[in-house]
């Protein structure tokens, strides 16, 4: 599959050591996080998660802000790359607030510069044009795609507002038709599922009208159709289409020369979570794992507070699923091996609507869960913070054993043991690594001196830096929407220990093209 090849090409540059191997863990694990290597202040940060890529031989992180700008920072130093930040201007001269996470993909092959693709629009910032914009690596505009104006997304009035609908979802990139081309796939609040060519033109058969809003980001994986063609898996809302009230989880594939719906499930609650695809049990069959939201208001219906798993090929429910959660699951599941696992496990978050929150009645709580692929609960942990939009990532934090969990909540950033969910490095429920409100998903990556752009012998430069610029780091964008904080923060923390294995799910949607496919579980232990 072309999209997996591209993902692995990028991952081999930024998630492994210069020798192409993960360093062996030291004999003694460190027990605390140190101060950040650097920090930066940017525009208000809500739901846009950072991604990483190598551009012009420099490793960068890319993310969006509610101030309407896309940032590209040197991952080693935190400094802006030349030509960045850049405004997303669906309407010329009017930057649009961003909640989508950027995708960095090689639309024209890995020997050409990559493209940065991001959705535009926000529930937090009203009266702005939504859509999608693609940038060249130097910050110039590649193309702008306009969505439709069919309702007022801020008041929910059922008539056009004068503003095109937002693209909240993160664009996915893959070979949709099996012709070797890298296409761009995303859903929009204008009820449409879009697939675009690398030049921003609609593919035949698109858009597909879902007849209700789409928050969920697409996962791509080949099951049906031509050999290299990728199926499109995503969730969506439904208000009566084919008798469904709640939400869909869907599979579309290019079969017989056109895009066809292969299977779908109607759940009586909205599906705002983004599906993850991976092998989760001994059958070796890829499964689609996704949670339900809270769009169908109280009294909540029977499919609320659940995480579902369906076989990707036919949509049949995986035995042992769905599993119960304590509240809505807005984030996307992560798939990978935790300590002692023989098959990959699933980790996800939920709000803690059903929790009593003893001692914290005003602040509330959130939950993090780990399940086996058979739906057996391994552990759960309670976080401070009344809601949890963040998705978990999986990386070896202790330097020993298998993957651990890094996850955020509205109360901050938490490291958890993959074995039992215990708080790591001196953190507790009430004391995270920091207390910066986190709605996005953090990123773990290896930062190489050779990809820093600093020259031989350099260690640090610029304001806000404290050394330790290279090696394994966790990076986060945080602060919450502008109602919580008018400005956002970016942190780069050195990991206390060198991972003993390649991270299974190191960023939002697992890889820089945001396909949502756990390549480590498809191909074996990572």
3-state secondary structure 265-286: EEECCCCCCCCEEEECCCCCCE
Give the bridge partners for 134, in sequence order.
117, 143
pLDDT of residue 250: 96
Angle at 306 between CA 300 and CA 307, to 5 degrees: 150
The whole-angstrom distance between residue 11's C-alpha and the CA centroid of its chain comes to 16
What pLDDT is stored for residue 386 in this prediction?
Answer: 74
Cα separations in angstroms, 193 against 188, 224, 242, 272, 494: 7, 18, 17, 14, 39
Query: Which DSSP state fits 449?
Result: G
User: What are the angstrom distances between the C-alpha of 78 and each of 60, 99, 331, 370, 460?
Assistant: 9, 21, 26, 33, 10
pLDDT of residue 401: 81
* Strand pairing category for 443-447 and 208-209: unpaired
Q: How many domains does the chain have?
A: 1
Residue ranges making up the domain that contains 78: 2-456+465-523
9 φ, ψ to 5°?
A: -60, -45
What letters, b where the CB count within 10 A reaches 16 and e where it falls short, cover 237-260? bbeebeebbbbbbbbbbbbeeebe
Check residue 13 and give its pLDDT. Answer: 43
| Distance, CA of 72 to CA of 57 (rounded, Å) | 14
Name 523's Cβ contacts closer than 8 Å, sequence gap at least 6. Answer: none
CA distances in angstroms from 257 to 153, 179, 233, 315, listed in the order given:
35, 11, 19, 22
Distance (Å, rounded) from C-alpha 176 to C-alpha 154?
33
At residue 109, the pLDDT reads: 85
**Other Cβ atoms within 10 Å of 463 Cβ, number:** 9
pLDDT in tens for each of the 526 residues of the chain? 222 333 333 344 454 443 334 434 444 455 788 899 999 999 999 999 999 999 999 999 999 999 999 999 999 999 999 999 999 999 999 999 999 999 999 998 888 899 999 999 998 899 999 999 999 999 999 999 999 999 999 999 999 999 999 999 999 999 999 999 999 999 999 999 999 999 999 999 999 999 999 999 999 999 998 888 999 999 999 988 889 999 999 999 998 888 999 999 999 999 999 999 999 999 999 999 999 988 887 778 888 999 999 999 999 999 999 999 998 999 999 999 998 788 899 999 998 887 765 554 445 789 999 999 999 999 999 998 877 789 999 999 999 888 999 999 999 999 999 999 999 999 999 899 999 999 999 999 999 999 988 865 454 433 445 568 999 999 999 998 888 889 999 999 999 999 999 999 999 999 999 999 987 788 766 5
Q: Does residue 322 have a cis peptide bond before it, meaning omega lies within 30 degrees of 0?
A: yes
- Dist CA 62 CA 81 (whole Å): 10
Say if residues 336 and 403 touch (Cβ distance below 8 Å): yes
Read off the DSSP letter of residue 140: -
pLDDT for the residue numbered 461: 39
Give the whole-angstrom CA distance, residue 182 versus residue 104: 12
Distance CA 249, CA 170 (A): 17
Q: What share of the chain is helix, strand, coil (3-state, %, to 5)?
A: 5, 35, 60
Pairing of strands 131-136, 286-291: unpaired
Give the residue among 331, 324, 268 at the shortest CA–CA distance from 296. Answer: 268
Residue 11 has what pLDDT? 40
365-371 sheet: strands from edge to edge: 334-336, 345-351, 365-371, 377-384
**Who's near 210: CB < 8 A, 6+ residues apart?**
187, 191, 192, 193, 236, 237, 238, 241, 248
Q: How far apart are CA 392 and CA 403, in angstroms?
A: 12
Cis link prior to 85 (omega < 30° from 0)?
yes
Contact 510, 276 (CB under 8 A): yes
Q: Which CATH number is 267's domain given?
A: 2.130.10.10
């Amino acid at each position: 599959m072309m999209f997996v090849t591209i993902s692995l090409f990028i991952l081999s540059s930024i998630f492994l050591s210069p020798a192409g191997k993960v360093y062996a863990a030291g004999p003694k694990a460190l027990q605390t996080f140190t101060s950040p290597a650097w920090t930066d202040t940017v525009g208000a940060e809500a739901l846009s998660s950072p991604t990483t890529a190598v551009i012009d031989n420099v490793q960068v992180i890319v993310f969006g802000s509610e101030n309407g700008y896309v940032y590209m920072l040197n991952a080693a130093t935190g400094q802006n790359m030349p030509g960045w930040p850049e405004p997303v201007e669906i309407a010329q001269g009017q930057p649009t607030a961003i909640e989508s996470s950027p995708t960095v993909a090689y639309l024209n092959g890995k020997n050409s510069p990559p493209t940065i693709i991001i959705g535009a629009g926000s529930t937090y910032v009203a009266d702005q044009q939504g859509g999608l914009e693609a940038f060249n690596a130097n910050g110039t505009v590649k193309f702008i795609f306009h969505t439709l104006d069919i309702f007022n997304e801020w008041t929910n009035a059922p008539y056009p507002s004068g503003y095109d609908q937002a693209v909240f979802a993160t664009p996915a990139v893959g070979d949709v038709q099996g012709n070797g081309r890298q296409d761009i796939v995303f859903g929009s609040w204008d009820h449409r599922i879009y697939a675009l060519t690398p030049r921003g033109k609609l593919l035949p058969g698109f858009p597909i009208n879902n007849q209700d809003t789409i928050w969920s980001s697409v996962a791509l994986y080949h099951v049906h159709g031509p050999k290299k063609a990728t199926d499109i898996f995503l969730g969506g809302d439904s208000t009566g289409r084919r008798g469904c009230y709640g939400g869909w989880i869907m599979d579309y594939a290019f079969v017989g020369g056109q895009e066809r719906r292969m299977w779908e499930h109607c759940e009586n609650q909205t599906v705002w979570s983004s599906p993850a695809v991976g092998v989760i049990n001994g059958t070796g069959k890829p499964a689609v794992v996704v949670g339900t939201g809270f769009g169908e208001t109280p009294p909540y219906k029977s499919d609320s507070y659940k995480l579902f798993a369906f076989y990707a090929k036919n949509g049949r429910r995986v035995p042992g699923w769905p599993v119960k959660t304590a509240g809505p699951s807005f984030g996307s599941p992560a798939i990978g091996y935790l300590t002692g696992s023989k098959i990959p496990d699933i980790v996800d978050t939920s709000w803690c609507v059903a929790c009593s929150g003893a001692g914290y009645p005003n602040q509330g709580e959130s939950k993090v869960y780990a399940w086996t692929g058979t739906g057996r609960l391994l552990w759960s942990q309670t976080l401070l913070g009344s809601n949890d939009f963040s998705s978990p990532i999986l990386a070896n934090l202790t330097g020993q054993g298998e993957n651990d969990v890094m996850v955020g909540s509205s109360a901050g950033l938490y490291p958890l043991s993959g074995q039992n969910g215990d708080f790591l490095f001196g953190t507790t429920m009430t004391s995270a690594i920091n207390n910066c409100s986190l709605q996005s998903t953090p990123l773990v990556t290896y930062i190489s001196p050779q990809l820093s752009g600093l020259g031989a012998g350099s260690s640090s430069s610029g304001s806000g830096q404290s050394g330790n610029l290279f090696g394994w780091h966790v990076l986060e964008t945080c602060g919450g929407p502008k109602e919580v904080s008018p400005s956002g923060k970016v942190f780069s923390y050195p990991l206390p220990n060198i991972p003993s294995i390649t991270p299974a799910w190191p960023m939002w949607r697992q890889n820089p093209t945001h396909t949502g496919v756990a390549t480590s579980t498809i191909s074996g232990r990572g």
